[in-house]
Amino acid sequence: ETPAPPVTDKLPPVGVDPTRASIARVYDAFLNGKDNYEIDRTVLKQVQEHMPSAQELAFENRGFLIRVCRFLATQTDIDQFLDLGSGLPTAENVHQVVQRLRPEARVNYVDNDPVVLAHGRALLEENENCRFVNADIFDTKSILENEEIRSFIDFGRPLALFQMGTLHHYNGPREQPKAMMREFIDALPSGSYVGLSHFLDPQNEHSTTARDAEDAFLHSPMGSGTFRTHAELLELFDGLELVEPGLVRCADWWPDGPQLKSLTSAQRCIAGAVGRKP
């Protein structure tokens, strides 16, 4: 009998096109991961030409996500997490951070990238408090009326909904994410939390770099990456009370320790906040 060929991460899973950049694989390349192809690394290089510190967009975003998870798991009673656009599994995923502190917490990941889904399903096979769902996170109905999600996350009790590093990849009308978030927030029960991070146009001397990076993202093989102003981002939290310190650069949201070095351009161009539905 012929032995099965070895499975290596060089073989793209079915449904994966290594000639096109994917958001999830590009993000993995930014984080120095290994689940990416040459085409994905091209996007990183193109952005780095304008913003040499570009990888910190991803590192700050991920650090913020981890701190938000820790905050929710220790300072609130939230025990169900709906992570929209979860990305490829990396060092500390939402379920690892929150279940370390609250073992019974449920985490429902949602993504539509076939590589994310393949890795995610394998990783979570043995964790009954985790689920991976394939759905379009920019189509509110496909999330809010999703039976797989509804059978796992109880919308009758407070939950945490994440849109971390996702909405800047929406390529439709610029105003649309506001309406999208309004629908998500309306569907949440009182006492729920929303965590959201997004590329920021800081409207200062770093704006030019932000616009150049945006241009590089949009014209790259990935084709998405919109920078929004502080005022535009605040609109995404309509109907929520922001947890201190409000909407700030991710680097400034309860950092792990003193900030000795001045922030790079990239660190000034990614912001986040956590809001609570009253």
What residues make contact with ligand SAM under the rule CB under 6 A? 23-24, 27, 61-62, 65, 85-87, 111-113, 116, 136-138, 164-166, 169
For the CB of residue 23, give the shortest distance to ligand SAM in the complex, in Å: 4
The smaller minimum CB distance to ligand SAM, of residues 6 and 65, is found at 65
For the CB of residue 5, give the shortest distance to ligand SAM in the complex, in Å: 27
Q: What is the largest CA-CA distance in the chain?
A: 66
For the CB of residue 25, give the shortest distance to ligand SAM in the complex, in Å: 9
Is residue 149 within 8 Å of 184, Cβ to Cβ?
A: no
How far is residue 10 from each of residues 13, 30, 177, measured CA to CA in Å?
A: 9, 19, 36
Residue type at 39 in one-letter notation? I
**89's tokens:** 């599994």
In whole angstroms, give the CA distance from residue 8 to residue 10: 5
Is residue 68 within 8 Å of 161, Cβ to Cβ?
A: no
For the CB of residue 86, give the shortest distance to ligand SAM in the complex, in Å: 5
C-beta neighbour count of 234 within 10 angstroms: 16
The smaller minimum CB distance to ligand SAM, of residues 119 and 208, is found at 119
For the CB of residue 3, give the shortest distance to ligand SAM in the complex, in Å: 33
The smaller minimum CB distance to ligand SAM, of residues 46 and 86, is found at 86
For the CB of residue 217, give the shortest distance to ligand SAM in the complex, in Å: 11
The smaller minimum CB distance to ligand SAM, of residues 120 and 202, is found at 120
How many helices (H) and strands (E) the chain has is answered by 11, 8
The smaller minimum CB distance to ligand SAM, of residues 77 and 100, is found at 100
**84: nearest Cα among 21, 135, 26:** 135
C-beta neighbour count of 56 within 10 angstroms: 22
The smaller minimum CB distance to ligand SAM, of residues 27 and 237, is found at 27
Residue type at 211 in one-letter notation? R
b/e map 179-193, b = 16+ CB within 10 Å: ebbeebbeebeeebb
In whole angstroms, give the CA distance from residue 199 to residue 183: 21
For the CB of residue 207, give the shortest distance to ligand SAM in the complex, in Å: 22
The smaller minimum CB distance to ligand SAM, of residues 43 and 240, is found at 43
